[in-house]
Amino acid sequence: MNADELRSRQDREIADRLMSVADVKKINDAIEKREEKGPMGTRRRLLATSVRLSRNMAPWLHEMADDCIEKLGVKIPLELYVYSSPSYNAACVKPEDGRLFIMFSSSLLEAFEGSELRFVLGHELGHYLYGHHDIPIGYLLNGKARPSPKLALQLTTWSRYAEISADRAGAHCAQDPIGVARSLFKLASGLSGKLVQFNIDEFMQQVDEMQVEDAAPGQGAPAEDWFMTHPFSPLRVRALKLYDASKLAIENGTSIDELEAGVQVLMTMMEPSYLEGRTDSSETMRRLLFASAITVANASDGISEREIAVFEKFFGERSFSEDLSIEKLAATLPDRINQTKAVTTVAQRMQVIRDLCTIARADNKVEAAELKAIEDIAARLDVPVHFASQALAMTAQLD
């Protein structure tokens, strides 16, 4: 199996489009010029803040890494590091001086075993293998100059599919669906398995019983899974079930087209598809987002020229008119909220709140009055208020 075939089709297609976007090219050009002056100090920082795990110190870990490297066809020297942290985490750091770096939290290394750890290793190597470092999502979303709302949504949509690709690489290395599921269980729950006995059948039953089109995302999962750059943990497990049943994993499995279509259905829970949709519910959601965005922007000292510019980047040129009565539009908000609640699920309404937060954050600041307006809209939509706060404080890291 050529590991490149494992990559999610949507990951590849969206990444190709993003690489031609002017803002992405601008950041990459700046990074390239900086790198031409010499190393950016990545390895120096790792040596100063963590412990490099040599083959003598952790031969078992290097044996796992060697196996994953062979399975995935990775051809670059690898260094492994561990840093002190109670949270389960790992990251693949962009190569420097011809070396690739993978870092693990101390708690993860001590709690994960066998195929669980192989999955994590393969996942991180997948980020490198599929060129995910080529899209500087952290610079774009967390930098001083915010991207347009549409670009921000493209970036986060791509990031979720990038995680799907990396999960497949991890599953290919682990060759153990149960171990992979156990790894995701530990990542989602924060449990090591010492206090709670993991039961794969019950865990999978929990996922199977989720009605994706109706259920609120993140039920029973940690709130961190609601961040926009990563799929919800239950969706990752379901997506891997589709992968395990496909020809990528077994002989005579389902076709790649069926696999990718199934994944896209799952991911619609987190994608703003209603912006282009032609259904009544899509139109209702768009009308709600339009009125909500204007109401939130006007909540603090009126709508500024910058806010108008951000609004029009999202909805199109001349979508904001001086003749628009903000007061009358705001007065329609309760009806639009009720209409939306009548034809959508909580998961779909979370998409609206997420997009509303993206628009608000694109102005580089969110005033207290604007935050209150967003939280009020969320509450009236029966969306957890803290979801809005998390969306506004979103981090953008491939981990």
What are the contacts of 290-294 at 24+ separation with CB within 8 A?
A: 290/315, 290/319, 291/329, 291/330, 291/332, 291/333, 291/336, 292/333, 292/336, 292/352, 292/356, 292/377, 293/356, 293/359, 293/360, 294/320, 294/324, 294/326, 294/329, 294/330
Mind listing the pLDDT tens digit for each residue in 85-111? 999 999 999 999 899 999 999 999 999
Q: Which two tokens stand for residue 5?
A: 């075939």
- Span 237-258, mean pLDDT? 92
Residues written for the chain:
399
Cα–Cα distance measured from residue 104 to residue 399, given in angstroms and rounded to the nearest whole number: 10
pLDDT-based confidence at residue 335 (cuts at 50, 70, 90): very high
Q: What pLDDT, on a 0 to 100 scale, did the predictor assign at position 209?
A: 63
Residue type, 312: E
* Tokens at 217, concatenated: 């995302």
Fold for domain 274-392?
Answer: TerB-like (1.10.3680)
What whole-number distance in Å separates Cα of residue 98 and Cα of residue 115?
A: 28
Residue 225: pLDDT band with limits 50, 70, 90: very low
Phi, psi of 314 (to 5 degrees): -85, -45
Round to whole Å and give the CA distance between 89 and 396: 15
Mutual angle of helices 114-129 and 59-72, in 10-degree steps: 50
Of the CA atoms within 13 Å of residue 104, those in its CB half-sphere come to 26
Strands 90-96 and 78-83: unpaired
Count CB neighbours of 300 within 10 A.
18
Q: What is the pLDDT of residues 343-361, one digit of tens each?
A: 887 767 888 888 888 778 7
Please report which confidence band the pLDDT of residue 265 belongs to, taking 50, 70 and 90 as the band edges. low
The rounded percent of the chain whose pLDDT value lies above 70 is 87
Token pair, residue 6, equals 């494992």
**pTM check: above 0.85:** no
pLDDT digit string, tens, across residues 139-183? 888 877 778 877 887 888 899 999 999 999 999 999 999 999 889
Res 70: pLDDT = 96
| Cα distance between residue 339 and residue 332, in whole Å | 11
Contact assessment for residue 297 and residue 272, using Cβ atoms and an 8 Å cutoff: no
pLDDT digits (tens, 9 = 90+) for 40-76: 788 999 999 999 999 999 999 999 999 999 999 999 9
146: DSSP letter:
P
Report how far residue 152's alpha carbon sits from residue 44's, in angstroms, rounded to the nearest whole number.
31
* Distance in angstroms (rounded) separating the CA atoms of residues 119 and 112: 10
Delimit the domains of the chain by residue range.
3-270, 274-392
pLDDT over 50 (residue 251): yes
DSSP single-letter state for residue 104: E
How confident is the prediction for the chain on average, in pLDDT?
84
